[in-house]
Amino acid sequence: MIRTLLLLVVVAANLAANTALAAYTPGVAYMLHCGGCHLIDGRSNPPEVPDLRGELGRIVAVPGGRDYLARVPGASQAPVSDQELAEILNWVLHRFNEKTLPVDFTPLTGEEVGKSRRNVLKDPLKHRATLWERYEAAQE
Ligand code: HEC
């Protein structure tokens, strides 16, 4: 009896783990943790919640830009692991910013994102303006 019960518990645990693995993709994680504010297609609610479509490819091209993505409070404080956050951000970059993403873009890593997100930005909009100035300066 105990054996059968144990077996059932093991089978159930395996099933649960497999189901979770099959369903969990960066896109799903985005919907769960970011979509409430940024909406399913990334359009968000500007100007309070910035649009995630198009400009992030330009931002990652400037020094400090990769770092910035994981430092905004919504990303930094999401209840996901460093690796998951890296995957969500890479997904956002490819899904919504493919056209502006630098051709030599290398995906964010969990380790890199882990370091960045510990420095959560107190004034994200001001920081963003600085990155934008760097971008404009690089175009001249
Ligand atoms: C509670 C609402 C909310 C949630 C949830 C949220 N964000 Fe945000 N996000 C914002 C706001 C507001 C800003 C503007 C900066 C600020 O004031 O924090 C922002 C800014 C950003 C930016 C910078 C965009 C730019 O153009 O400068 C990125 C990237 C971003 N969020 C990614 C994410 C990701 C990825 C998630 C999910 C892991 C997420 N956010 C979850 C509200 C949210």
Q: Please give the structure tokens belonging to residue 91.
A: 């997904």
Give 50-100 pLDDT, tens digit per residue.
Answer: 999 999 999 999 999 999 999 999 999 999 999 999 999 999 999 999 999
Q: Please give the structure tokens belonging to residue 46.
A: 């500007």
Give 49-61 pLDDT, tens digit per residue.
Answer: 999 999 999 999 9
Question: What are the sequence ranges of the domains in the chain?
Answer: 2-139
Beta bridge partners of 49: 45
Q: Report in angstroms the alpha-carbon separations of 20 from 25, 28, 59.
A: 10, 11, 33
Task: Let me know the angle formed at the C-alpha of 83 by 116 and 89, rounded to the nearest 5 degrees.
Answer: 70
User: Which pTM does this prediction carry?
Assistant: 0.87
Q: Please give the structure tokens belonging to residue 114.
A: 């882990």
Residue in this structure with the two tokens 């931002």, named with its chain if needed? 59
Pick from 37, 44, 71 the residue to mutate for probing ligand 1's pocket: most ligand atoms within 8 Å of its CB: 37
- In ligand 1, the atom with minimum distance to the C-alpha of 78 is 38
Collect all residues with Cβ–Cβ distance below 8 Å to 121 and sequence separation of at least 6: 68, 71, 72, 73, 76, 127
Task: Let me know the angle formed at the C-alpha of 65 by 63 and 68, rounded to the nearest 5 degrees.
Answer: 130
Nearest CA to ligand 1 atom 43: 74
Nearest CA to ligand 1 atom 15: 124
Pick from 31, 33, 34, 91 the residue to mutate for probing ligand 1's pocket: most ligand atoms within 8 Å of its CB: 34
Give 116-136 pLDDT, tens digit per residue.
Answer: 999 999 999 999 999 999 999
Q: Which of the four CATH numbers 3.30.2320.80, 3.20.20.70, 3.40.50.620, 1.10.760.10 does domain 2-139 have?
A: 1.10.760.10
